[in-house]
């Protein structure tokens, strides 16, 4: 059996299924191939399951401290199985929604493994049959899988990645040791700590969340330590071994070898492109370090074959990046102009408080030779933050010194992940501090902090103490 399509998309994660829908909107004949469940890593083993668990964890923390709010609750307990059942319900509902969208857009969904045999030709193996599919264009959106560094002992029982810890009924631990203090590691550290698990984080870099603003990293480290999470930075894991208590992780810190014991180890040191077995024999396209090399239009070295998302070499591994790239690439394929700005990518971390950033950091501006200044507002003076008992929260704005044009923002506060888009718009539209300050934001809201942060750059923040004048 052979079928022909205008475009075949391989991978039904956020990048893949949104690209398929965009192509269908352009009245193209579309096929979408997925060997597992639709939604990809983000929906099934990443963003959505993590945030579902974090919502439960945050609610539990509120209940534990509710007496401060005038509420008394007794015998508050955790049903670990029910937590994961609820998570699975959310995932299932979103999966159903995607399938309905694909059907409504008349996209042919093939549940099976895809192999690109030659340009324009794909072999699909499903449970029922083997298919040969032809396509004018092929879009690779196969995502990524967790990386496992060459550390002895990572194949032992009890050593898991984020895939295993988030799928199905999850994994329950009394002491979880997390190797890696990046976004995934820190988000899961906050979940397990809230559920009563002892957590140890071991990060090789000098700070956790190493790609973020230094003040944000320091603040999050202090919040975690206050919650009795054991955080070690500048620490290199040497091995994992079995012991009477379960697993022993040996790491080197400040020139000394240290061993910590727990009953579970989470390996969270990044993800790698998932293209193994995608081609028949050697990859048809150019690759680098196991990922696909593309040009500025996400075209590979072979005409008619494109790649987006985590499968791409040196790409930003975020679901919304893959989605934007998928839509933009489909537009380029079929000669339609895309209005998406792929250079401006907000990053979000769903800890408590939330973290979000977009645009340049102060260090990046300095390296680029841009004369920039930073203004800051402490959210301890924000009424909504005080009501919800947010701690160590702030909003920082980076702007060009002369023009006052906003070029970056870092937020560590409640609803930061929702509010960061206001700064994305400001940077995209080249807005100034004055432009942002001219907007009336409702009271009481977290968004009032945005007004205060931009007004601080103008020296007129109402709810900040006047800046001290330097002594003459």
CA 286: distance to chain centroid? 27
Q: Sorting pLDDT into bands at 50, 70 and 90, what band is 168? A: confident
pLDDT for 470 = 54
Q: In whole angstroms, what is the distance from residue 215 CA to residue 394 CA?
A: 10
pLDDT for 469 = 60
**Hey, is 457 helix, strand or coil?**
helix
Q: In whole angstroms, what is the distance from residue 269 CA to residue 410 CA?
A: 23
Catalytically annotated residues: 443
Q: Sorting pLDDT into bands at 50, 70 and 90, what band is 248? A: very high
- Average pLDDT value over all residues in the chain: 95
Q: In whole angstroms, what is the distance from residue 419 CA to residue 346 CA?
A: 11
Per-residue pLDDT tens over the stretch 171-189: 999 999 999 999 999 999 9
Helix (H) or strand (E) holding 10: strand 2-10
Could you write out the DSSP letters of every residue in 144-194?
A: EEE---S-TTTTSTTEE-HHHHHSTT----SEEEEE--SHHHHHHHHHHHH
For the segment 237-252, the average pLDDT, to the nearest whole number, is: 95
Per-residue pLDDT tens over the stretch 293-304: 999 999 999 999
Q: Sorting pLDDT into bands at 50, 70 and 90, what band is 468? A: low
pLDDT for 144 = 97
Per-residue pLDDT tens over the stretch 340-375: 999 999 999 999 999 999 999 999 999 999 999 999
Q: What is the DSSP code (8-state) at residue 380?
A: G
pTM (2 d.p.):
0.94
Neighbours of 51 (CB within 10 A): 16
For 353, list phi and psi in degrees, rounded to 5.
-75, 165
Per-residue pLDDT tens over the stretch 180-214: 999 999 999 999 999 999 999 999 999 999 989 99
For 413, list phi and psi in degrees, rounded to 5.
-165, 170
Q: Sorting pLDDT into bands at 50, 70 and 90, what band is 1? A: low
């Amino acid at each position: 059996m052979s079928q022909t399509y205008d475009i075949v998309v391989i991978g039904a994660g956020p990048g893949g299924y949104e690209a398929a829908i965009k192509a269908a909107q352009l009245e193209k004949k579309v096929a979408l191939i997925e060997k597992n469940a639709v939604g990809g890593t983000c929906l099934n083993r990443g963003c959505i399951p993590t945030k579902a668990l974090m919502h439960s964890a945050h609610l539990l923390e509120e209940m534990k401290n509710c007496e401060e709010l005038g509420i008394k609750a007794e015998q508050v307990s955790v049903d670990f199985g029910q937590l994961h059942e609820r998570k699975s319900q959310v995932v299932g509902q979103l999966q159903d929604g995607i399938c309905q969208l694909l059907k409504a857009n008349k996209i042919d969904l093939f549940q099976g493994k895809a192999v690109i045999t030659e340009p324009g030709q794909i072999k699909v193996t499903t449970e029922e049959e083997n298919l040969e599919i032809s396509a004018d264009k092929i879009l690779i959106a196969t995502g990524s899988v967790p990386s496992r560094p060459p550390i002895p002992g990572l194949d032992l029982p009890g050593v898991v990645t984020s895939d295993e810890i988030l799928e199905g009924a999850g994994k329950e631990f009394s002491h979880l040791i997390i190797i890696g203090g990046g976004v995934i590691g820190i988000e899961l550290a906050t979940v397990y700590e809230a559920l009563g698990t002892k957590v140890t984080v071991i990060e090789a870099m000098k700070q956790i969340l190493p790609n973020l603003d230094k003040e944000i990293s320091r603040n999050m480290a202090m919040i975690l330590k206050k919650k009795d999470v054991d955080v070690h930075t500048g620490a290199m894991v040497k091995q994992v071994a079995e012991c009477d208590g379960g697993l022993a992780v040996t790491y080197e810190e400040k020139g000394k070898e240290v061993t910590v014991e727990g009953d579970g180890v989470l390996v969270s040191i990044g993800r790698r492109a998932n293209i193994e077995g995608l081609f028949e024999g050697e990859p048809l396209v150019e690759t680098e370090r196991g990922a696909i090399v593309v040009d500025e239009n996400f075209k590979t070295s072979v005409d008619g074959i494109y790649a987006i998302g985590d499968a791409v070499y040196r790409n930003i591994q975020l679901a919304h990046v893959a989605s934007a790239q998928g839509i933009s690439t489909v537009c380029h394929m079929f000669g339609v102009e895309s209005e998406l700005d792929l250079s401006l990518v907000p990053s979000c971390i769903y800890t408590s408080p939330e973290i979000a950033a977009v645009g340049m950091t102060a260090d990046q501006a300095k390296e680029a030779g841009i004369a920039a200044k930073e203004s800051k507002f402490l959210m301890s003076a924000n009424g909504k933050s005080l009501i919800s008992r947010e701690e160590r929260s702030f909003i920082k704005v980076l702007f060009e010194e002369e023009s006052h044009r906003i070029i970056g923002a870092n937020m560590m506060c409640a609803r930061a992940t929702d509010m960061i888009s206001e700064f994305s718009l400001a940077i995209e539209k080249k807005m100034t501090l004055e432009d942002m300050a001219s907007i009336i934001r409702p009271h009481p809201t977290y968004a009032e902090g945005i007004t205060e942060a931009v007004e601080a750059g103008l020296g007129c923040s109402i709810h900040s103490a006047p800046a001290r004048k330097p002594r003459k």
